[in-house]
Amino acid sequence: MLFNSYIFIFLFLPLCLIGFYILQNRQATLAKVWLTCFSLWFYGYFNRSYLLIMICSILGNYLIHRWIVTTNSRKILITGVILNLAVLFYFKYLDFFIDNVNVFFGSSFPLKYILLPLGISFFTFQQISFLVDTYRGELDGVAFIDYALFVSFFPQLIAGPIVVHEEMIPQFNRIGNDDRSKEEKAKIFAKGVYVFVLGLAKKVLIADTFGIAVDFAYSNVNGINGFESLFTILFYSLQLYFDFSGYCDMAKGIAGMFGMRIANNFNSPYKAINIVDFWKRWHITLSRFFTKNIYIPLGGNRRGEGRMYLNYLIVFFLSGLWHGAGWNFILWGMMHGVLYVITKWWIIKRKTHVIKSAVLDSDSTTLAGSRILKATACFLTFIYVSIAWVYFRASDVAQANTLLMNIFTKEWALPGSGFTEAFNLGEFWYVLKILKVAALPYAEYYIMILFSAFAVAITFFGKNIDELAEKFKPTVVSAVITAVLFVWCVVSLSGVSTFLYFNF
């Protein structure tokens, strides 16, 4: 089930909310059971076999959790982690592994063509983190219903954030014992609706529009010209930004409707002034997971500068592999890793200098550099990240190389109809007709240019969702804006599309 679908908006979510609020005032455990059952329905809606995998994963990991609580055995922890990784390897990496074995050794092992369960990387990492925290003594035994809800809670189930126990379990324990006033609860609920609708607008109205042009380009890489190739790189960067940001906003908004908060996972990443800053803003909870469970256990920065840089490269290699079973994802991860190491080295060297540059040092709290230098650093970071995204989006390394080479080898001509049709939405054409500019030369490019400029302006100069939510007040004006955006999104749901991070 998708957040941006009729069945979710008009059936699933209202039923879940109504039942939850009725039950939590009577029996907290029943309210948790209700929310867990709806979360399993949400997941099983995609594919019934997915549901069986999730239930088995929850049961198995809960038993391991209880066993660790009883014995505090490191061997049991290691066994639990290995079992989780084995399941993830089977569903996500086995075909990739067999295919490369066949290539390198000239063998002919048959591929399995295993269907990848949605969100398996997210809930697997979440449960591994839970087992590690159990072994570290950070939590005692947790009731099964709390654990099941912790893993399956539908707002963050498919594409994160990767939450940890201290963020969610206390909130589940507060169900039925919430001492906040009715006015405060009503404001939190209204803010949740507001945030959800903003996220829905990002996904439906912006990301999916760019997605049409991007899909056209990647399905016809050899046939597009240099200008179209350049636009494709920009459009995918914007599509991914609004797609992932929209999902994170919707997840936060839905959680807010239940009176809960989930971890921040997205903080205006294209405003980053270097790659280190970028990874403090993009997929924040994934970075947290790798830092806590990979980087620090490897030694972090405690074993010398050289070992620290190696640890960073290992983390980014695994991050690339986590995102997808393909050499293009590994290359994407290493592109980020190499620049991350170079940037970290530069930051450390600059910190030893008398005059520190705040533009290149994301850890500095002062702005010693000029606005021009800061804007330049931000622009260059965006360019590098966008080029790396080409390998992230392409089906393989060869396709990514072809798209990048098109910029230098193909002619530079105006984009064709395959690009412009993505932006020629009926409501925008109606406005152009009213303004009597629809019949002017090159009118088909007006919407594409204005739409892209608007998206860029929001990305680099607009306030992020946390800033907007903090200033939110349930007024008539905010209600009208929310209602208009909601109706606009609903009438645009005919072309429902999945979120890009569902693939990981």
Q: Which residue has the tokens 């494709």?
A: 232
Whole-angstrom distance, CA of residue 262 vs CA of residue 319: 22
Set 65, 323, 336, 353: catalytic member: 323
Whole-angstrom distance, CA of residue 6 vs CA of residue 367: 47
pTM score above 0.95: no
pLDDT value at residue 365: 46
Whole-angstrom distance, CA of residue 300 vs CA of residue 311: 7
pLDDT value at residue 430: 62
Structure tokens at 339: 């620049």
Whole-angstrom distance, CA of residue 487 vs CA of residue 75: 54
Structure tokens at 423: 């932006």
The residues that bridge with 282 in the sheet, in sequence order, are: 266
pLDDT value at residue 348: 85
CB neighbour burial string for 174-202, b if at least 16 within 10 angstroms, e if fewer: ebeeeeeeeeeeebbbbbbbbbbbbbbbb
Whole-angstrom distance, CA of residue 472 vs CA of residue 417: 40
pLDDT value at residue 364: 47
pLDDT value at residue 349: 83
Whole-angstrom distance, CA of residue 188 vs CA of residue 152: 22
pLDDT value at residue 384: 96
Q: Is the dihedral of CA 35, 147, 195, 122 positive or negative?
A: negative
pLDDT value at residue 48: 83
Prior bond of 161 cis (ω within 30°) = yes
Per-residue pLDDT of the chain (504 residues; tens, 9 = 90+): 788 888 999 999 999 999 999 998 888 899 999 999 999 999 988 788 889 999 999 999 999 999 999 998 999 999 999 999 999 998 888 887 787 777 777 777 776 677 778 888 889 999 999 999 999 988 887 899 999 999 999 998 888 788 888 999 999 988 888 778 888 888 999 999 999 999 999 998 899 889 889 999 999 899 898 999 999 999 999 999 999 999 999 999 999 999 999 988 989 999 999 999 999 999 999 999 999 999 999 988 888 888 999 999 999 999 999 988 889 999 999 999 999 999 999 988 877 654 444 444 545 444 445 788 888 999 999 999 999 999 999 999 999 999 999 999 888 888 887 778 877 766 666 666 666 666 666 777 878 888 899 999 999 998 888 888 888 888 888 889 889 889 888 887 766 566 666 665
The dihedral over CA atoms of 388, 390, 225, 410, expressed in degrees to the nearest 10, equals: 50
Nearest to 399 by CA among 322, 316, 319, 331: 331
Nearest to 211 by CA among 183, 180, 185, 246: 246
Q: Is 323 labeled as catalytic in the residue annotation?
A: yes
Q: What angle do CA 223, 227, 229 make, to 5 degrees?
A: 55
Give CA separation, 262 vs 150, 198, 254, 279, in Å.
11, 17, 10, 19
